[in-house]
Structure 1
Amino acid sequence: MADRVAAGGLSIAANLYDFIHDEALPGTGIAPDQFWIAFAAILDDLAPKNRALLEKRDALQGKIDAWYREHRGKASDPAADKQFLRDIGYLLREGETFTIGTENVDAEIATIPGPQLVVPVTNARYALNAANARWGSLYDALYGTDAISQDGGAERSGGYNPVRGAKVIAWARNFLNDSAPLNGGNWADVTGLPIAGGALQATTKDGGAAGLRDAGQLAGYRGDPAAPSAVLLKKNGLHVEIVIDREHEIGKTDPAGIADVILESAVTTIVDCEDSVSAVDADDKVIVYRNWLGLMRGDLSAAVTKDGKTFTRRLNGDRRYIAPDGSALTLPARALMLVRTSALLLMSDAVLDKRGDPVPEGLLDDFVTSAIALHDIGPDGRRRNSRTGSIYIVKPK
């Protein structure tokens, strides 16, 4: 590989060095010389351990291969197989009960259940879509998929089909009945969603009013409490936003003016530098790290063309509401992003060690992505991804 730079006793591909020096490190408080000296120290410590682990894996695999060659054609004996794996140290006996005491863990990891996406970091548009997938339209998801049958004139081809739309709305009302039931009312009969005294007081077709069976499910609202533009509910740590717009194509035909139901869904996303991407040299690595940098700084963008129109996609801004007690409520609009780095096996000549050998790619990924994460979690970080100041690294086996 031509054009290399010497730093910290290492030989670094010039384009990777320039990216680290000019783009990744400014704003983190880390000087380039410090970065490479520290990485060289990490390699001195961990690269031999990495090699030892790979040698152990090869030895275990050799023993397993020999075992199954020896027993080829014989009846399966699960108990003997299990004992063999224990004898060679592949399986260990269950240890003592323990407690995980990790601190500064975001709620999306510790307490909130929800879907997790995996997205290749090399595709900026896909990465932005995944990060922005924390909130999505239930109406769109139902209308555009086979979750709603096309029977009875409810086809989804062509323009808007009001028959299909009615099925979508009915499904969504049943969802609200199940997840946030009213006290003595049905969501299908709601004609308005005013907030009074910090509580939802839904008006119904019969002229009555119905609150939430569990008043604590009201998380907030947006706009005038007497006629809010959005009502925010919560269950199991996840939120549902009911969008109210009587001028909207859907809202103007709805008795309550409900134009959409927005679900908080994909609360975490694995931004993948490994399994779903092909990053084999320094040029590829710079693409990987630059997109991760854009996500951590919040300035990643991508041009998108849809229906003949081009627009720029960026990370969504936070969602803002008024809490039932009148205080301001801000919720993250983006999935918490984890980063999956390379495994132990592969070596990368993007950096050569003091002996001139390629370095473990996983260690390079871990070091660079962690440094870049300081734009979010460092002393001057944005705290827009991890609000507790953590980085979450996913390591393949």
Structure 2
Amino acid sequence: MNIQAAQHNLIDQSIYNFIKQVIPMTLSNGNTAIDQTNQTNNTMVYAKQILDQYFPLSVGSHQDVCSYVIYYNQLLAFFADGTQSGLEQPKQFVALTGHKCEPTSLVLKNNGFHVEISIDRRGVQGIEDLAGIDDVQVEAALMTIVNSEQAPNKRSWSSLVTGQAGCSGKQFTAKDGSDYQL
């Protein structure tokens, strides 16, 4: 097994273990057994830990970011004290939606594996988050391979915040201005 395959397996295992923990247990009366507010706070912390682990900033943590902007095709993260940092590996930022000064989503890539950070300061989670992050979705690589045989242009995505999974073709703008489709 090469290093890239081993890293994919490690990421997939980490994500799938997390999703199993996040999905609320349904009681016989149909109610969920997990406090949704506490769950969202914990899952957002976990999602940002994943970002710190696989998409680290040169300085600081995604936990402390107040806003993200694109400057000269590079992702910059701004902190409360006015300082900023780029990604430790700038090439990991590959695409966005929205305006470079106020992106609505960011796409990061690590060894062929994509993560989408959705930013919505009015969203359910975004209203509570310092940077306005509403969701962090990861490309479920194993499911993508299975689904691509059935629907070639569809990829599977799983939310690190809500635990929900979905399959969709997504359209973004690459950092060079061209189309970036997943």
TM-score under structure 2 normalisation?
A: 0.72
- For 1:164, the equivalent position in structure 2 comes to 39
Paired AA for residue 213 in structure 1: E
Unaligned 5+ runs, structure 2 = 10-14, 26-31, 154-165
Paired AA for residue 267 in structure 1: T
User: Quick one: distance in 2 between partners of 1:197 and 1:250?
Assistant: 29
- Displacement of 1:145 in angstroms is 5.9
Runs of 4+ with >4 A deviation: 111-115, 136-142, 295-298
Alignment of 1:234 with 2:109, yes or no, is yes
- For 2:145, the equivalent position in structure 1 comes to 268
**Alignment check: 8 A CA contact 1:193 1:228 kept:** yes
Paired AA for residue 251 in structure 1: G
- For 2:23, the equivalent position in structure 1 comes to 144
Q: Which has the larger radius of gyration?
A: 1
Give 3-state SS (helix, strand or coil) of 1:252's partner: coil
Choose between structure 1 and 2: higher helix proportion: 1
- For 1:318, the equivalent position in structure 2 comes to 169
Distance 1:329 1:145, change over 3 A: same
Alignment of 1:258 with 2:133, yes or no, is yes
Deviations 1:151-204 (A, max 9, x none): xxxxx626x532222211111111111100001111110011111110101111
Paired AA for residue 264 in structure 1: E
- For 2:181, the equivalent position in structure 1 comes to 330
Deviations 1:26-73 (A, max 9, x none): xxxxxxxxxxxxxxxxxxxxxxxxxxxxxxxxxxxxxxxxxxxxxxxx
Deviations 1:332-352 (A, max 9, x none): xxxxxxxxxxxxxxxxxxxxx
- For 1:196, the equivalent position in structure 2 comes to 71
Matched ranges for 1:6-25 at <5 A: none
Paired AA for residue 180 in structure 1: F
Choose between structure 1 and 2: higher strand proportion: 2
Unaligned 5+ runs, structure 1 = 1-110, 116-135, 147-155, 272-291, 299-314, 332-397
User: Quick one: distance in 2 between partners of 1:249 and 1:210?
Assistant: 27
TM-score under structure 1 normalisation?
A: 0.35
Root-mean-square deviation over aligned CA pairs: 3.3
Distance 1:189 1:210, change over 3 A: same
Q: Name which structure has the greater RCO, CA cutoff 8 Å, separation 6+.
A: 1
Paired AA for residue 252 in structure 1: I
- For 2:122, the equivalent position in structure 1 comes to 247
**Alignment check: 8 A CA contact 2:24 2:33 kept:** no
How many pairs does the alignment contain?
153
Matched ranges for 1:24-63 at <5 A: none
User: Quick one: distance in 1 between partners of 2:60 and 2:4?
Assistant: 29
User: Quick one: distance in 2 between partners of 1:221 and 1:245?
Assistant: 13
